[in-house]
Structure 1
Amino acid sequence: MPLKSPYIPTTSKSRTVRTAPPRRRARRAVAVAVAVLAGTLLITADAVARQVGEERFADRIAARQGRSLASPEVTIEGSPFLLDAARGTYPEVRVKADARTGDGIPVKAAVDLHEVSEHAGRYAAESLDAAFTAPFAALGSRGDRSVRLSDAGDGRVRIETGVVGMPLVITAGLRLDAGAVTLSADSASLAGRPIDPAAPAIARALSQRSREIPPLPMGLEPTAVSVGPGGVTVHARAPRTDLT
């Protein structure tokens, strides 16, 4: 019987791991560092240019509107800013500012300018949308009579005052009528007891609360009125407008 040869395990051939030469690794590291640095510088330059552009735009708005808008805060949308600046067109510019009406009522103004273009140092917007909000506290008191206004929900305002020592509460809807904000009562109570909201006395009282909307800046025309927690807001719009 033939003898079997003894099993001798074979060893696998070792693999040689090749590494990049030190100089090549160094060049790659330098290239990555340069790319990161260039990207950081570009982002920083874009942010600085945007800030400068917003400040210049705010100065132009303030110079045109004079005292009607105090210290406007400008935000230029779109990225990258430098590309939009090179084209001379900005997709949206938002302006926020504190203002006052002719009779001293404080107003929060928010204006969105769409497709703003620059040519020879002059700016124009294809359209404008704006909202001017007057707080309830500023609208509540007129003359010697103290009236408290608040948000009643569903686009209505709650009016609280006193009649011969008894509390009168009216809820009314607001509407825009020929450039004026008018009120229409839908419920009323005197000393906690419901009364007819269509009573002539209530109609006369509300007619005294109606207000003409003063001329708005930048060619804006009122389009609607709404009520919210912050007060009464007049919405407005304008077509293409030259800003400077």
Structure 2
Amino acid sequence: MRRLLAWLGVIVIVLGIILGVLDRVGVHYAEQQVAKNVSTELASRNITSAPPEVTITGFPFLTQVAAGNYDEIQLNLRDLKGGTLPLPLLQVHAYDVRATVEGLRNGTEKAVATLVNGTGTLSYADLVEVSGLEGVTLIGDGSVLRVTGNAGVAGQLKGAAKVTVVDGKVRIQVTELTASNLAPIAQQLVNTYKDRLARTFEIPPLPFNMKLQSVNPAPSGLEISVTAKEVELG
């Protein structure tokens, strides 16, 4: 009896290992199919980016396959271009995704997500560059965008700006900007800097009909949040 139980234990362990391997193989295959379809979708919309990196979460995966429903699919889209500002990385989380592996494989079905959220960070250095300014540094404190730097005859600059979303674009409004040199010619230069900073910046075209919802001036850069509902992932 003990020997039988021991053999049964070994069989259960072996079956568990086999199922675990099959589960991981299935995940890898599904991730490749989603990445392929997403790449095709991006190309059809003339959205420029590096090949998407796809991760399907949740375990066991095979039960999700059987149900044709996946808890969450994560996609990393790198080097998005096409707007005023490039977007180095857009991290996308697709929730409650409906699709079958067979449908994805033969092209008869597209993965559809109930909700898609995305986050990314715009570079302050890129923002300064497209503004055509020199000697200026931007940094966020979580609520306000701080402006510092050296503006030639104007001397040291110091100021702040508010960042908002207007019509799907990033809007920067300079709330204050002063220079250490108070001469009239210096003030003219300060006004030029104000005009170049206080403007609207376009982010690259977004996949999956996602819309820009919010922007936050974080220390690492302008953090953006995008979202969409009932989305075909490709």
**Do the two structures share a fold, i.e. TM-score over 0.5?**
yes
The aligned amino acid for 1:191 is S
For structure 2, which runs of at least 5 residues remain unmatched after alignment? none
Equivalent residues of 1:76, 1:93 under 8 A apart: yes
Equivalent residues of 1:140, 1:147 under 8 A apart: no
Question: By how many angstroms is 1:200 displaced?
Answer: 6.0
The aligned amino acid for 1:217 is P
Q: Are residues 74 and 149 of structure 1, via their aligned partners in 2, closer, same or farther at CA, if it must alter by over 3 Å?
A: farther
Q: Which has the higher contact order (CA 8 A, sep 6+)?
A: 2
Q: Are residues 81 and 225 of structure 1, via their aligned partners in 2, closer, same or farther at CA, if it must alter by over 3 Å?
A: same
Equivalent residues of 2:85, 2:203 under 8 A apart: no
- 1:71 has 2:60 as partner: no
Partner of 1:179: 168
Question: By how many angstroms is 1:121 displaced?
Answer: 2.8
**Structure 1 consecutive aligned stretches of length 4 or more whose deviation exceeds 4 Å:** 199-203
Q: TM-score w.r.t. structure 1 length?
A: 0.77
CA distance in 2, matches of 1:202, 1:139: 13
- 1:241 has 2:221 as partner: no
**1:163 aligned to which of 151, 167, 170:** 151
CA distance in 1, matches of 2:136, 2:69: 46
- 1:109 has 2:90 as partner: yes
Q: Are residues 114 and 147 of structure 1, via their aligned partners in 2, closer, same or farther at CA, if it must alter by over 3 Å?
A: farther
CA distance in 2, matches of 1:167, 1:142: 21
CA-based RMSD of the aligned residues comes to: 2.6
**1:230 aligned to which of 207, 216, 220:** 220
Question: By how many angstroms is 1:145 displaced?
Answer: 2.8
Question: By how many angstroms is 1:95 displaced?
Answer: 0.6
Partner of 1:152: 140
Structure with the higher fraction of residues in helix conformation: 2
Q: TM-score w.r.t. structure 2 length?
A: 0.80
Aligned to 2:111, the other structure's residue is in SS state strand
Aligned to 1:137, the other structure's residue is in SS state helix
Equivalent residues of 1:152, 1:171 under 8 A apart: no
- 1:44 has 2:21 as partner: yes
- 1:82 has 2:71 as partner: no
Partner of 1:56: 33
Question: By how many angstroms is 1:58 displaced?
Answer: 1.2
- 1:191 has 2:180 as partner: yes
For structure 1, which runs of at least 5 residues remain unmatched after alignment? 1-23
CA distance in 2, matches of 1:214, 1:104: 7
Question: By how many angstroms is 1:144 displaced?
Answer: 5.0
**1:219 aligned to which of 181, 206, 209:** 209
Aligned to 2:14, the other structure's residue is in SS state helix
CA-to-aligned-CA distance 1:217-237 (integer Å, 9 cap, x gap):
111111111122331122111
Question: By how many angstroms is 1:190 displaced?
Answer: 1.9
Structure with the higher fraction of residues in strand conformation: 1
The aligned amino acid for 1:111 is V
Question: By how many angstroms is 1:69 displaced?
Answer: 2.5
Q: Are residues 148 and 164 of structure 1, via their aligned partners in 2, closer, same or farther at CA, if it must alter by over 3 Å?
A: closer
Aligned to 2:157, the other structure's residue is in SS state strand
State percent identity of aligned pairs.
Answer: 21
Equivalent residues of 1:150, 1:157 under 8 A apart: yes
Partner of 1:99: 79
> Which region of structure 1 is more displaced relative to structure 2, 163-172 or 32-41?
163-172
Q: Are residues 98 and 35 of structure 1, via their aligned partners in 2, closer, same or farther at CA, if it must alter by over 3 Å?
A: same
